[in-house]
Amino acid sequence: MQKRNAFYAQSGGVTAVINATACGVIQTARKHKDRIGKVYAGRNGIIGALTEDLIDTSRETSRAIAALMHTPAGAFGSCRYQLASFDKNPAQYERLLEVFRAHDIGYFFYNGGNDSADTCLKVSQISARLGYPIAAVHVPKTVDNDLPITDCCPGFGSVAKYVAVSMREAAFDVASMAKTSTRVFVLEVMGRHAGWITAAIGLADDAETPIPLVLLFPEIAFDEARFLAVVDAKVKKFGYCCIGVSEGLKNADGALMAEAGSKDAFGHAQLGGVGPMIATLVKDRLGHKYHWAVADYLQRAARHLASKTDVEHAYAVGKSAVLLALAGNNAVMPAIVRTSDKPYRWKIGVAPLDKVANVEKMLPRNYISADGYGITARARAYLSPLVRGEDFPPFKDGLPQYVRLKNAAVPKKLAAAFKI
Amino acid sequence: MQKRNAFYAQSGGVTAVINATACGVIQTARKHKDRIGKVYAGRNGIIGALTEDLIDTSRETSRAIAALMHTPAGAFGSCRYQLASFDKNPAQYERLLEVFRAHDIGYFFYNGGNDSADTCLKVSQISARLGYPIAAVHVPKTVDNDLPITDCCPGFGSVAKYVAVSMREAAFDVASMAKTSTRVFVLEVMGRHAGWITAAIGLADDAETPIPLVLLFPEIAFDEARFLAVVDAKVKKFGYCCIGVSEGLKNADGALMAEAGSKDAFGHAQLGGVGPMIATLVKDRLGHKYHWAVADYLQRAARHLASKTDVEHAYAVGKSAVLLALAGNNAVMPAIVRTSDKPYRWKIGVAPLDKVANVEKMLPRNYISADGYGITARARAYLSPLVRGEDFPPFKDGLPQYVRLKNAAVPKKLAAAFKI
């Protein structure tokens, strides 16, 4: 077999563990120098390929690459940029091909979520449509946990752990204050379409540490009167109540709550945030003093609290992507296959990319409790293994030491620039 | 010396390490059984004393008390409730005295911030004014870090660590996304009057991990035009910018930028919302895509990321409070005395309570950079030791195991109830 270079890129919203996947790709490629020459990373994802802005990862030390295991976010830069279809914009694909040919790229590893799976699928078609041999492998990553076939998505487990831990800690705080002050705490979390992250908040509450929790899922239309009654009952019974709300909460008409009302009780337009909106509603209608938090990027960047299971998944899909490509696969994605809940066991399987691209896996209704405000035992059995284990980064002077790579550019070979 | 019981209460906003102080008080009292009978904790702070709602901590196992070291928030409940002056409401003090006498309480340990120091001082005066012998010792605690005399306040170091780590992690995320998406990230943090917590965000940026950071301190009046120019320059130079903003940011007239309208029991305005406000301003005026987070209780409850130094301080002031009382002190507070920056060394000193109560220690101007948007080397030398060291709690199934005490009530001895 001919030795060829590999292209790796990070796409879409980044996670606490996407660099662990990069580490898996690069370390595994380095172990197969007979087949894979250099790993070139796209600076800012696929844009780096289109603009011939490639990063030479061979210039990074083994130590720096190893440090990716504990460094959050995208070490090579990511992007939100989706390729058009081949028929709509063939020039894009011809450009990609030109860049790949100039740098002898025979392997394409694309690390992302739903949109990225679609991009990767399109790139895989270059092989057949333009007669250029390339192995395109999608590497799963998304905090939203909404990719099909794979049991879970690297990035999700760490967010799940973060929101569960944060809610548990905040609940202890609110319980302390409830006698004379805050009685209701609202935590807004990510997950615009699917309520996986919202469900993970439910892990904060367990048999040893019960917490009066109300979850607002994007899958369940918001019913103000029912919600207020549930919250008030919990405050009356327990003295306080903690509310976890998805940024994607919708009203009965299917409109996003955050967009439905553009002004909140502060009288400020465009404050945004369904979290403060829910908190204000509780205050206005029930009179309970509230606090609210919007975790935003903190939840998906929190490598300091990553799930060890998630880190292991993330590395494994990177490693497997390379092995799949070396075995001659194209248009596939390594998938996490759960073989047992208790004890938790998993292995890597293979998913055909056309079954992954643009398919969203929603939270099953039987993961949500009958009243719509909590999680079921089934959800707990699914979620619990994913947050398990700690994998603290090294700390120096009290702060985690995250690596910044040199990210040296590969000299350009093409005369023409490409405008994205 | 006569053997008498002790009263301990938690007051005001709780922290990630106030229970470590409780642990210090209780463990030290248990070592002096010849002098101290039982430690009674006030259920929900001083309210527990007024309503004779006392918790018998002797009913808790050594193991449960030890677990307070790693459990955030107030294990006995806190409150926002300030005693009036003796002359305005003598009935309150007579009631306290009645409860203390009924339960033979000779030691009063009050664990709180500014307002609480004032309460403790008032209680200490019972001794002289009503002829009841009691040793009242204030035990410092406040995430705001604004108590005078003590070099720092237990609770602050852990919040400082949390906001610095969170900003560093979010900055890595934003840097990854900035090419095609988010360019400005805003993190709103606590600190109503003093910018200590805002300053701590500055630790996210250091020589090894530079981050384009703009800090908005409550001490520096917000100047919209200057602020926008600084942010825009950073985005142009670095591709992105991270903004840390105090909830207490004020405009040129000294008015809070974000007022929620409601006030707490001390008459303080309830804050929230300046983060999204600043983010929206950046978007409207500069056109940069933004994200914002409001950490709220997450920052002060985050025991999972506590500073080891802070935990040690918290325990030490609890232990020292008991020793000070046993040595016959009244109306004092154990204070943390820094004897060296490098290496960091500290010891416990004694502060007279009348020099502590109602005095706020503001962030010195020379801790803020000349342009008003960053911290100086001096601030860094002060802050850095306070976030140092990790002290992770035990985890089980991926979540920290925090203790909930039995909190068994001491049988009431008084016929009359007391309405607070």
Q: What pLDDT sits at residue A1? A: 65
Residue A258 has pLDDT above 90, yes or no: no
Residues of B in contact with A209 (CB under 8 A): 401-402, 404
* Distance from C-alpha of B394 to C-alpha of B387, rounded to nearest angstrom: 20
Q: What pLDDT sits at residue A260? A: 59
Element (H, E) at B138: strand B135-140
What letter would DSSP give residue A368?
B
* Distance from C-alpha of A144 to C-alpha of A247, rounded to nearest angstrom: 12
**The two three-digit tokens of residue A310, written as one number:** 């998630």
The residue ranges of DSSP E strands in A2-86, in sequence order, are 4-10, 36-42, 54-56
Residue type, B289: K
- Which SS3 state, helix, strand or coil, does residue B183 take? coil
Residues of A in contact with B161 (CB under 8 A): 398-399
Residue A270 has pLDDT above 60, yes or no: no
Q: What pLDDT sits at residue A263? A: 43
What's the pTM? 0.96
Write phi, then psi, for B63 (nearest 5 degrees): -65, -40
Q: What is the mean pLDDT of residues A90-99?
A: 93
Q: How far is A217 from chain B (nearest CA, A)?
A: 20
Contact criterion met (CB below 8 Å) for A150 and A389: no
Q: What is the mean pLDDT of each run of 10 residues along chain B (420 residues)?
A: 93 97 98 98 97 98 98 97 89 94 97 93 86 95 97 98 98 96 97 94 97 97 97 98 96 82 45 82 94 97 98 98 97 98 97 92 97 98 98 98 98 91
* Distance from C-alpha of B331 to C-alpha of B333, rounded to nearest angstrom: 7
Residue A259 has pLDDT above 90, yes or no: no
The minimal CB distance from B276 to the residues A16, A273, A305 is found for A273
Residue A269 has pLDDT above 60, yes or no: no
B340 vs A: CB within 8 A: no
**The two three-digit tokens of residue A331, written as one number:** 């248009």
* Distance from C-alpha of B58 to C-alpha of B65, rounded to nearest angstrom: 10
Q: Tell me which residues of B are annotated as active site.
A: 144
- Which SS3 state, helix, strand or coil, does residue A312 take? helix
The size of the A-B interface in CB pairs under 8 A is 246
Residues 6+ apart with CB under 8 A from A138: A110, A111, A112, A116, A117, A120, A121, A321, A332, A333, A353, A356
Which one from A53, A144, A146, A391 is the annotated catalytic residue? A144
* Distance from C-alpha of B32 to C-alpha of B326, rounded to nearest angstrom: 9
Q: Which chain A residue lies closest to B271 (C-alpha atoms)?
A: A291
ipTM above 0.85, yes or no: yes
* Distance from C-alpha of A21 to C-alpha of A314, rounded to nearest angstrom: 5
- Write down the mean pLDDT value for chain A: 94
Q: What pLDDT sits at residue A272? A: 54
Listing DSSP states for A87-155 in one string gives TT-HHHHHHHHHHHHHTTEEEEEEEESHHHHHHHHHHHHHHHHT----EEEEEE--TT---SSSSS-TT
Q: What pLDDT sits at residue A326? A: 97
Scanning B259-278 for CB atoms below 8 A from A yields 259-262, 264-265, 270, 272-273, 276-277
Q: What pLDDT sits at residue B248? A: 94
What does the pLDDT look like over B346-404, one tens digit per residue?
999 999 999 998 889 999 999 999 999 999 999 999 999 999 999 999 999 999 999 99
Residues of A in contact with B164 (CB under 8 A): 398-399
Q: What angle do CA B94, B99, B103 make, to 5 degrees?
A: 145
CA-based nearest residue to A32, from A367, A324, A387: A324
* Distance from C-alpha of A50 to C-alpha of A47, rounded to nearest angstrom: 5
Residue A271 has pLDDT above 50, yes or no: no
Q: What pLDDT sits at residue B261? A: 41
Residues of A in contact with B74 (CB under 8 A): 176-177
What does the pLDDT look like over A329-387, one tens digit per residue?
999 999 999 999 999 999 999 999 999 988 899 999 999 999 999 999 999 999 999 99
Alpha-carbon dihedral angle through residues B360, B364, B365, B369, given to the nearest 10 degrees = -130
B192 vs A: CB within 8 A: no
Confidence of residue A6 (pLDDT cuts 50, 70, 90): very high
**Cα separations in angstroms, B137 against B119, B327, B350:** 11, 11, 10
Q: Percent of chain A, pLDDT > 90?
A: 88
Q: Which chain B residue lies closest to A284 (C-alpha atoms)?
A: B262
Contact criterion met (CB below 8 Å) for A156 and A310: yes
What does the pLDDT look like over A36-68, one tens digit per residue?
999 999 999 999 999 999 999 999 999 999 999
Environment class of residue A251 by beta-carbon count within 10 Å: exposed (0-12), middle (13-18) or buried (19+)? middle
| Strand pairing class (B54-56; A4-10) | unpaired
